[in-house]
Each structure stands twice: as structure tokens, then as C-alpha cells.
């Protein structure tokens, strides 16, 4: 075997072995997620969540909603959050130095007045300009914090300092919550007796094309646009299979920043959100877990498969590219900050399985896939390629990808079945076949660009233009 043959064989089999390992992980994920979802659904069939909503003995919760230039919809969004089905709550809206009239609108709509309020700055943040509460007893649960712009993580840290309740629920102000979302999110904290539950999260679903009236989801539709539709499938796969499986293994590394609950005491002890990273949601979970491990405290990060929160996803390649670029940089930053855990048995499953999985199969996957593609093209041009093998290899990987997607759709149908029409399920199946051509290569490319931007030390969030649920254009970029 000469050196060129050797390199060719090495790459071919290297990629194949990598792919097979990834696929074996996927099989493990499927097995674990089925077990976890089955258990959850059986448990839920006995549960009366309303108990939590009405009981005066239910734990207290602080909802933290950071807002930057959300003036267009802020009044409705806050009203929707105030109407959330849970009694023992306080709602803290953090105006992160908005340049629009968000604060003024809130003051007028909710009769807010500036009050003296001691904030115990347990986590360092940008200065607070003022704290407002309502004169109207109807809105006694509302606290509005006006602060200097510091980004989403800084705004959430301010909220943590202001909060007085036992649990924190961090939410994107423009998310649409299910009626019982808060109850379902809080319950796992109360169920566990042997371990302390430090964070919980639920399934995020895609609201594009859904019917939303007065901040409430009225009817679910599969997105009409191609890109959001593909993301629907991607979200089903990621949440119903991936996160449920990691929850089963107690190896979950991320709770979505759009809607997640945390134990306030542990979040503060771990140091709160890291304002220096663009992946602050993942970083906080990893740091909280690391804190618990280092202090030898038994704990759990819980995840529930119920669709709790609906959000709008990018409808254009430009915005999607920015989002995926940022997610990639966030992942790299988090893994870099906590590199100590890599294959470190002191961190248990976190160090031995979760971190390496994220490193090899989330962080490196796009790079390996991209270099594999480049290698394929070079081999093709140089005539080195063995035709049948080089068709069969990607064919095998793509076929397995289809199988994984179809399986995710099956789990969705068997469990929560949000898309009631059979035609919607049929469209989802069709999308699973189109995804490897129209969606996946772009996501891989965006991740590669994320790696490049990370090396260039780019720190921006990038502008995230949303179409808005009322077809109004609004701009959401928390870091200027």
C-alpha cells in the first residue's frame, strides 16, 4: 500500500468508523428516550397538575424575562406572562437598556412607579437604573427592572439578584407558553427525594404558521415555509429523542434558554450566567453540574417531553446561518471553559460520556462531515475513488439519518402528536427526505463558519429578525 492509498483508506475508514460510532450512539439515544418517555407518560396519566396552580403551599417561583427593544409587543407579552397558570409567582421583566420605548410603554400600561428596592448583588452585573412596581394591585406580581445594556446573560443575572423566590424560570419574553407549562416545569423539583433537582426544561416547539390570539396558541399548524418546517423535524428529533435520552442518563448538558427552570440557590452558588459567552444557557447548566460534582452533592437535571413553549424560528437562510453560527460558538466556548471535565472520571457520566459526546459528535461532527465532503470531492477529481464504495458509504449514512428522523416522527405520533392532520405527518415524512439536501448541508456550513468566527474571536450575537406572530416585524438582538 503506497502513501496515497494509505491516506485514502485512512480517511475512508476513519469517517466510516466515526459514523458507525455516532450511529451506535443514536441507537442508544433511541432506546433511552423510549424508556424515559414511556415512564413519563405513564406517570403523567395520574397527575393532577392543577394542584400546584392553586395550592398556597406550592413552591414560590420567580419568572425572569429579559427584554431588549421589544416595544412592539412588550405589553401583550407581559400580560400573557402575568396570566400564567401558577399562583406563587413574581414576574421580573428586565429592560436591558432598550433603545426603544419599551420601558415607557410598560410604565403607562401597568401604572408602574419607581421604588426604593435593595438588590443584593450576589452576581456582578451592569448597573440598575431603577426598579418599578405597579400601583395597581392587579399587577402586584410584576417587577420591572431598568438597567444598562449588558446582553441577555447580564440581564438574567440582574433578574437572579432581584428574585426572591426558591425557583427561577428564565424565559424569552416573546415565547408562547402552554397553559400548564409552569406547573409541568416545576413538578420535577418536588418529586425527587434522593437527589436535588437543580434544573428542568421542556420541549420547545415551533410557532411559525400557528394561530395565536392574544398571546395564546389557538391552533397548531406545521410551518408553511420550507425552512421552519425542516426545523420542526429537527426540533422533534433533538427534544423528543436527544434530550429525553440524556435526561434518562442524567447527562443533559443544555436546557433551552427560551424556557427553563433553575434552583435559585444553586444558580447563585455556581456564579450565575456567564456574560462572556454567547452560549450562556448551556454554560450555566454545565457550571451548575460542575459545582454539584465538585461539592459531591447528589443532583439531577430533569427534562420533560411535554411541549411547553412555542417560539418562532428563522425563516431565512441568512438568519438561520447566524443562529447556528452563534450556537456553534457557544458550544465551543462552553466546552473550552469546562475542558477539565473531558474524560475526567471525577465528573461521572458528565465527564465520561456527556462531555466527550458533545465534543466528538456535536462540536467535531460538522468539521468531520465537511472535511469528509472535501475529501470525497478531491478523491473524485483525482480518480482515486472506488465508485461503488463511495456511493454506498454516504448512502448508508443518509439512510440511517432517514431512519432516525422517521423514528422521531413515530415517537411524536405515539406520544404528544401535536400535528393532528395526517397530511401534516405525511409532509413531515417528506421533509425528512428533503432535509439532507436542502437543510443539513447549510447547517453544517454555518457550524464551520462558527468555528472560523470563534478562531477570529467574534463575540457578537448577530441580529435576529423575527417576523412576529402578528406578522409584525420586530428586531431581537440582545447584544448591540
Partner 1 sequence: MFTFLNFFSGGIEKIINYLGQHFFTQQTLFNTIIIVGFLIIILIGFIFIYLFRKKKLWRRKVFLQISLNNFIGEIAICESEDELNEVYSNPAHQKAMRQFQRREMDRNLLISELAETSKKFRGITMDNILWLFEKMNLEKQLVKNLGNKKWHKKAKAIQQLAYLQQKKSIKYIFSFTNHENDLLRMEAQIAIVKMIGFDGLKFLNTVTYPVSEWQQLRLIEELSSHHAADLRNMNQWFKSENLTVLNFTLRLVEIYRLYDFYDEVKDCLSHQSMTICKTAAVTISQISNETTADLLVAHYPDYDSFTQLKILEVLQVDGTKNQLPFLFSLLDHGDDSYKLEAAKAIVKISKSGMEKIEKMVDGTLFPWNIIVPQIKNVA
- Binding interface with partner 1 (CB under 8 A): 1, 6, 9-10, 13, 16-17, 42-43, 45-46, 51-52, 55, 57-59, 115-118, 120, 187, 189-194, 265, 388-389, 392-393, 395-396, 399-400, 402-403, 406-407, 409-410, 413-414, 422, 425, 429
Measured from the CB atom, the residue of 117 and 438 that comes closer to partner 1 is 117
* DSSP of 81-123: HHT-S-SSEEEEEEEES-SSSHHHHHHHHHTEEEE------SS
Indicate the residue among 361 and 400 with the shorter CB distance to partner 1.
Answer: 400
Q: Which residues of 279-314 are buried (b: 16+ CB within 10 A; e: fewer)?
A: bbbbbbbbbbbbbbbeeeeebbbbbbbbbbbbbbbb
d(CA 304, CA 300): 13
CB of 470 to partner 1, least distance (A): 32
Instruction: Tell me whether residue 14 or residue 475 sits nearer to partner 1 (CB atom).
Output: 14
Task: Name which of 5, 171, 164, 181 is nearest 93 in CA terms.
Answer: 171
**Nearest to partner 1 of 214, 423 (CB atom):** 423
The whole-angstrom distance between residue 238's C-alpha and the CA centroid of its chain comes to: 10
Query: How near is the Cβ of 431 to partner 1 at its closest, in Å?
Result: 13
Rounded CA separation 449/434 (Å): 23
Identity of the residue, 323 or 418, whose beta carbon is nearer to partner 1 in the bound complex: 418
Cβ proximity to partner 1: between 90 and 101 the closer is 90
DSSP category for residue 178: P
Q: How far is the CB of 259 from partner 1 (least distance, A)?
A: 21
Q: How far apart are CA 429 and CA 76, in angstroms?
A: 36
Residue 397: phi and psi, rounded to 5, are -65, -45
At its nearest, how many Å lie between partner 1 and the CB of residue 116? 4
Spatial contact of 148 and 167, defined as CB atoms under 8 Å apart: no
Smallest gap from residue 319 Cβ to partner 1 (A): 32
Nearer to partner 1, 122 or 458 (CB): 122
Dihedral (C-alpha) 106, 255, 311, 203: value to the nearest 10 degrees? -130
CA distance to 89, 360, 392, per residue, from 21 (Å): 45, 10, 17
Specify the 3-state DSSP secondary structure of 287. helix
Nearest distance from residue 173's CB to partner 1, in Å? Answer: 27
If the CB atoms of residues 8 and 461 are measured against partner 1, the closer one turns out to be 8
Report, in Å, the least distance between residue 51 CB and partner 1.
Answer: 5
Q: How far is the CB of 187 from partner 1 (least distance, A)?
A: 6
Amino acid at each position: 500500500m503506497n502513501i496515497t492509498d494509505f491516506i485514502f483508506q485512512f480517511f475512508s475508514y476513519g469517517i466510516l468508523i466515526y459514523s458507525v460510532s455516532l450511529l451506535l450512539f443514536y441507537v442508544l439515544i433511541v432506546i433511552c428516550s423510549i424508556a424515559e418517555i414511556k415512564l413519563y407518560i405513564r406517570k403523567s396519566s395520574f397527575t393532577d397538575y392543577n394542584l400546584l396552580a392553586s395550592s398556597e403551599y406550592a413552591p414560590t417561583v420567580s419568572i425572569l424575562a429579559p427584554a431588549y427593544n421589544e416595544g412592539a409587543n412588550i405589553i401583550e407579552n407581559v400580560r400573557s406572562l402575568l396570566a400564567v397558570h401558577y399562583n406563587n409567582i413574581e414576574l421580573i421583566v428586565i429592560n436591558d437598556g432598550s433603545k426603544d420605548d419599551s420601558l415607557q410603554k410598560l410604565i403607562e400600561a401597568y401604572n408602574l412607579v419607581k421604588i426604593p428596592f435593595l438588590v443584593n448583588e450576589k452576581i456582578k452585573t451592569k448597573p440598575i437604573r431603577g426598579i418599578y412596581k405597579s400601583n395597581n394591585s392587579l399587577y402586584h406580581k410584576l417587577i420591572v427592572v431598568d438597567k444598562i445594556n449588558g446582553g441577555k446573560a447580564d440581564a438574567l443575572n440582574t433578574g437572579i439578584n432581584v428574585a426572591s423566590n426558591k425557583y427561577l424560570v428564565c424565559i424569552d419574553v416573546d415565547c408562547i407558553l402552554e397553559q400548564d407549562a409552569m406547573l409541568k416545569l416545576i413538578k420535577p423539583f418536588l418529586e425527587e427525594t434522593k437527589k436535588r433537582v437543580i434544573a428542568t426544561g421542556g420541549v420547545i416547539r415551533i410557532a411559525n404558521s400557528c394561530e395565536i390570539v392574544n398571546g395564546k396558541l389557538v391552533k397548531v399548524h406545521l410551518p408553511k415555509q420550507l425552512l421552519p418546517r425542516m426545523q420542526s423535524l429537527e426540533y422533534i428529533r433533538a427534544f423528543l429523542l436527544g434530550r429525553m435520552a440524556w435526561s434518562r442518563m442524567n447527562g443533559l448538558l443544555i436546557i433551552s434558554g427560551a424556557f427553563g427552570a433553575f434552583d435559585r440557590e444553586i444558580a447563585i452558588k455556581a456564579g450565575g450566567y456567564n456574560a462572556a459567552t454567547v452560549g450562556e444557557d448551556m454554560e450555566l447548566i454545565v457550571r451548575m453540574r460542575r459545582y454539584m460534582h465538585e461539592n459531591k452533592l447528589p443532583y439531577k437535571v430533569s427534562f420533560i417531553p411535554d411541549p411547553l413553549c412555542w417560539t418562532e424560528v428563522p425563516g431565512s437562510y441568512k438568519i438561520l446561518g447566524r443562529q447556528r453560527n452563534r450556537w456553534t460558538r457557544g458550544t465551543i466556548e462552553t466546552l473550552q471553559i469546562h475542558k477539565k471535565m473531558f474524560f475526567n472520571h471525577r465528573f461521572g457520566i458528565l465527564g465520561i460520556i456527556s462531555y466527550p459526546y458533545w465534543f466528538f459528535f456535536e462540536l467535531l461532527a460538522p468539521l468531520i462531515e465537511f472535511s469528509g465532503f472535501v475529501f470525497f470531492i478531491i478523491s473524485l477529481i483525482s480518480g482515486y475513488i472506488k465508485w461503488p464504495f463511495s456511493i454506498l458509504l454516504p448512502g448508508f449514512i443518509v439512510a440511517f439519518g432517514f431512519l432516525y428522523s422517521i423514528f422521531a416522527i413515530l415517537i411524536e405520533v405515539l406520544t404528544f402528536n401535536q400535528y393532528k392532520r395526517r397530511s401534516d405527518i405525511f409532509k413531515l415524512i417528506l421533509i425528512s427526505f428533503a432535509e439532507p439536501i436542502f437543510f443539513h448541508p447549510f447547517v453544517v456550513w454555518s457550524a464551520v463558519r462558527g468555528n472560523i468566527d470563534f478562531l477570529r474571536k467574534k463575540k457578537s450575537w448577530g441580529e435576529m429578525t423575527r417576523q412576529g406572530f402578528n406578522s409584525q416585524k420586530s428586531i431581537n438582538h440582545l447584544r448591540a
